Structure 1
């Protein structure tokens, strides 16, 4: 049964994940966001209690 033989796909899977983790992920994380959250003012919401008509 060739499905149980890990030789052809295990090395490819480990190599691709290592490539992604070591090369592509730091490059993608180094990009700066075009919309920084620091400049936004926080909005304060007013929580009003719910008035039940039958109580």
Structure 2
């Protein structure tokens, strides 16, 4: 069964994970967001009740 042969696929997976974790991830984490989150005061809005015709 060739699906159980990890010879080429394990090396490809290992190489891709090492590339991601050592090269790509530090570059992505160094970016700063343009719109950073901030604390906003929560003020609930006043809603009116629905005028049901049968009430």
Work out the CA distance in 2 between the residues paired with 1:5 and 1:37: 48
Which residue of the partner structure matches residue 41 of structure 2? 42
Aligned length: 45
TM-score between the two structures when normalised by the length of structure 1: 0.68
Which residue of the partner structure matches residue 17 of structure 2? 17
Report runs of 4+ in structure 1 exceeding 2 Å deviation: 40-45
Unaligned 5+ segments in structure 2 are 45-55
Unaligned 5+ segments in structure 1 are 46-55
Shift of 1:25: 0.4
* Residue 5, structure 1, aligned to residue 5, structure 2: yes
